[in-house]
Amino acid sequence: MPCTREDLADALLGAKRVHGLRSAVLCLEDAVLERDLPVALTRLSAFLRSELSPNFGDGQARQAAAVVG
């Protein structure tokens, strides 16, 4: 799934989630144009912060998001 999607969290975990989805590949390469990479990194970082914080704590979520960008 390209990380340029505005609905990244919703597509993975929300109302738009594919029934039965158990895993997904978040793409920053083939599905993302080079010029769109900053947007993709920003959206992936925001997704990791919002989704990891409740489960792993703010410190680990910030660390994972920092690796992304």
Predicted pLDDT at 49 = 83
Predicted pLDDT at 67 = 57
**Does 59 reside within a domain?**
yes
pTM for the model stands at 0.70
**Does 3 reside within a domain?**
no
Q: What is the mean pLDDT of the chain?
A: 82
Which structural domain, as residue segments, surrounds residue 16? 8-68
Burial of 26 by CB count in 10 Å (0-12 exposed, 13-18 middle, 19+ buried)?
middle
Predicted pLDDT at 57 = 55
Mean of pLDDT values over 41-48: 91
Predicted pLDDT at 2 = 95
**Does 49 reside within a domain?**
yes
Total structural domains within the chain: 1
**Does 27 reside within a domain?**
yes
